[in-house]
Structure 1
Amino acid sequence: MLEHFQSFHFLRPSLLWLAVLAIGVWWIWRKHADPLRGWRAQVDADLLDALIDQSDSKPRSLLPLLVAWLVAVLAIAGPSWKPEPSPFAEDATPLIVLLKADTSMDTPDPEPSRLERAHLKIADLSQARKGQPLALIAYAGSAHLVLPPTKDTSAVATMAAEISPGIMPVPGDRLDLAIARAAELLKDSGGTLLIMTDMGSSGTAEITTAYEAADSPDIQILAIAPVSADTSQLDSLAKSIDARLVPMTDDNTDIQSIVERAARAPVARGADGRVRWQDGGYYLVPLLVVLALLPFRRESQTQETV
């Protein structure tokens, strides 16, 4: 539910200005709907109240009409909170692992080191996603594709075990480059990014830019650090790219949670590669029908009374 709330947006937000027009028309109509409007300008208000029949002079409420107009405006603006599922893809979308391989990952917490723990988690991940596309990108001061999405997940675990700071050409923590590299793999099929890192990066602006350029993919972060470690940097990183932060556990709970989140139906994409979102305006049609029937119900009740 929270995920849908965070994804809520309008497909045609420019049409929301019609709500202002609807309120203006309603206000003018309300003024002119008063049957005593002409008399109020000629007769003292107290005298007019004494002369009129209060049971028959009360103007009909136009509030339901305003509500109906506003609901109609929301409907045509296209509220949306979930991507449109692909009608063609049958396989699960890829899960791309972005493995940090800088020197900080050699830190023992205690033994084994953070990088060795990441290797073990990738091995668990390869078992949990057996037969489903899994890819691997290693990054430090540069980012490199180790394996493109493959259903041979054991190969990903084998290659990940060989990754170390010693084989990375440039030291550093350029997560933005890794996200940009992953975006090339996500362009055609979509998917989820899993960042395995021990701390947040200092280049938050560059990371946010790379995230937005990649069409804001779904991202999870596995904190490769002890539960007692300070994760404030990772919290800031997660917020900057709207990612889900998953604490590392001694058992397989963290991996299962990651796999369940990533195991979603492939989404439809347009010719430009962008995600197509479902138009939720149709769900408001029954409410519009109910609001349209309210005036008829009041008229029927009035006739019965007479």
Structure 2
Amino acid sequence: MIDQILRDFHFLRPEWFFAIIPMTFVYLLLKYAVGKNSNWLKTIDPLLLPYLMDERKREISRSPLSLIIVCWCLAIIAIAGPAWQKTERPLHERKDALVILFDLTKSMYAVDVSPNRLTRAHRKLQDLLIARTEGVTGLIVFAGDAHVVSPLTNDTDTIISMIPALTPSIMPGQGSQLTRALVRAIALFKDADVNSGRILIITDEIRDIANAQTIANTNRFSFPISLMSVGTETGAAISLNPDRPDAGFLKDLDGNLVIAKVDLKKLQKFADAVGGRFARMTLMDEDIEYLLSPNGQISQTELRKTDRNFDSWEEEGPWILLLLLPLASLAFRQNWLWTILVLFLIPSSKTYAIEWIDLWQTKDQQGFEALQQGDSEKALSLFKNPNWKASAFYRSGQYDNAEVEFSNIATTDGKYNLGNTLAKQGRLQEALDAYTEALLLDRNNEDAAFNKNLIENELNKRQQNQEQQSQEQQNQEQENQEQGNEEQQSQEQQNQEQENQEQGNEEQQSQEQENQEQQNQEQENQEQGNEEQQSQEQENQEQEN
């Protein structure tokens, strides 16, 4: 143990030893003043001085000066911060935070589950809030717009009391617009100074999937999403008023019943695309346990520990200050007070403002306490150690500043935390490079290896999704092209048939015209023949007469 102490012994603020220089000048000055400037010494012959002066009293008179020097040295050593023992001080996030997004569109009145989707969702929401014995919870309802019912609070009883009033009738507009609800949820986290939390969506449909997916992916590491569906794929009619059985059901403009179906595949696909979990609402609590459990699918997409611990040296200087108490008590003797006053009269080229707490805690220790109390701004102003300062930026959500600080720390932990910071900003490829550097510095860094594997899987998953989307887009374009070709061929065929029909009509008309002309010609010939016959008969009659 002694060897360990000697090996680790050092001073946290060794610059304070420069105070020995002015102490030396003061000591020499006071010693000269006491030993040479006495009036007796100036008037008495030096040969007679030993016989006339009591040297024993002179030694006693010089003893206060010696004790002052001893006190000064002890104070310098204490302030310099002797340390030989280090302790890990982990930084902890605030309590578990959850924001629930509750769908209040009219489709929640569908009766495919008993008694209807809304009542079933109310019961599930109440069960969930009762199970929230720790952490803070917020509630947002959404339809065509999103509205905050409760900010983040640990008073779940108040939220439970408001559940019966949550009906589609309180919403000014309809339509399951999830994007606005997600924006509101992230704002709730930010307003409460919470840098990481979870979002749970209870819905039967998402209409703005593309925009909602963009928001969710941007914040997937800080605020991962879970999705719980209510309703069935077969669907059912939507009651106009669940409190009145004779109120009837919702119909479209043509008078047909509107059947609200749940597209489970689309909801599952959305959850997969944003790296979240999906579960159908059940009568028991297995859906809640799965969606909110820390050891589930979400944990495979979150980073292991936000940052690694940094070593903090335990300062032993305050114990040395205790030795000054008995020495300082001697200063109250009347003939010693002048020596203390001399110390305050010594000019100083530079003045240092030192608070009482500075004698007992380092700035880093004070910053750590401020950070534990949630005062990140004060912690940032106190931290001197770049590791702690970077961690404070990270904890306060200032990832840009944290990135700058961690980039200057060329250790495996520094690179590891840089990777976490980049991952929080969604820059996964850069995060992967940082984890790789951390492993190059220490191949036994298990956390860096874990997160590196996690990011690689996520990048592969995104690439697969991108390729799948690209393939689907190509297939869609091909289908559209084929459909266009078919439509073009059909149109050409119709045009050809129309031309043939028109040509046939023209030929028919021409034939009819020829037949008509022929008939007319025949009729003219017949009439002409009749006229000639009549004329001949008339001539014959005249001849006979």
State TM-score, norm by structure 2: 0.34
Among 84, 87, 91, which residue is 1:87 paired with?
91
- Paired amino acid for 1:117: R
CA shift in 2, pair 1:227/1:102, >3 Å: closer
- In the alignment, structure 1 residue 221 sits paired with structure 2 residue 227: yes
**Please, what is the CA RMSD of the aligned residues?**
3.0
Give the C-alpha shift of residue 93 in structure 1: 2.2
What percent identity do the matched residue pairs reach? 28
CA shift in 2, pair 1:241/1:101, >3 Å: same
Give the C-alpha shift of residue 197 in structure 1: 0.5
Extract unaligned runs of 5+ from structure 2.
1-89, 235-261, 308-393, 403-416, 422-433, 445-545
Q: Describe the SS at the equivalent of 1:222.
A: strand
Hey, what's the Cα distance between the residues in 1 that align with 2:279 and 2:263? 14
Among 264, 284, 289, which residue is 1:256 paired with?
289
Hey, what's the Cα distance between the residues in 2 that align with 1:110 and 1:125? 19
Among 176, 191, 195, which residue is 2:197 paired with?
191
Hey, what's the Cα distance between the residues in 1 that align with 2:228 and 2:149? 19
Give the C-alpha shift of residue 266 in structure 1: 8.6
Give the C-alpha shift of residue 287 in structure 1: 4.5
Give the C-alpha shift of residue 273 in structure 1: 4.5
Flag the structure with higher helix content.
2
CA shift in 2, pair 1:284/1:158, >3 Å: farther
CA shift in 2, pair 1:230/1:204, >3 Å: closer
**1:247 maps to which residue?**
280
Hey, what's the Cα distance between the residues in 2 that align with 1:130 and 1:167? 29
Count of residue pairs the alignment pairs up: 201
Provide, for residues 242-267 of structure 1, a one-character-per-residue CA deviation record: whole Å limited to 9, x for no partner. Answer: 22112222211111223323998995
Mapping 1:115-264, distance limit 5 Å:
115-187=118-190, 188-189=193-194, 190-199=196-205, 201-214=206-219, 217-226=223-232, 230-261=263-294
Alignment check: 8 A CA contact 1:100 1:139 kept: yes
Q: Describe the SS at the equivalent of 2:149.
A: strand
Hey, what's the Cα distance between the residues in 2 that align with 1:179 and 1:287? 39
CA shift in 2, pair 1:102/1:262, >3 Å: farther
Determine which structure has greater relative contact order: mean sequence separation of CA pairs < 8 Å that are 6+ residues apart, divided by chain length.
1
CA shift in 2, pair 1:132/1:161, >3 Å: farther
Q: Describe the SS at the equivalent of 2:293.
A: helix
Give the C-alpha shift of residue 159 in structure 1: 1.8
Give the C-alpha shift of residue 213 in structure 1: 4.7
Which has the higher Rg, Structure 1 or Structure 2?
A: 2
Provide, for residues 59-104 of structure 1, a one-character-per-residue CA deviation record: whole Å limited to 9, x for no partner. Answer: xxxxxxxxxxxxxxxxxxxxxxxxxxx8143x42211000000001
Q: Describe the SS at the equivalent of 2:294.
A: helix
Alignment check: 8 A CA contact 1:131 1:152 kept: no
- Paired amino acid for 2:142: Y
Hey, what's the Cα distance between the residues in 1 that align with 2:224 and 2:275? 8
Hey, what's the Cα distance between the residues in 2 that align with 1:259 and 1:207? 21
- Paired amino acid for 1:113: N
Give the C-alpha shift of residue 153 in structure 1: 1.3
Hey, what's the Cα distance between the residues in 1 that align with 2:143 and 2:295? 25
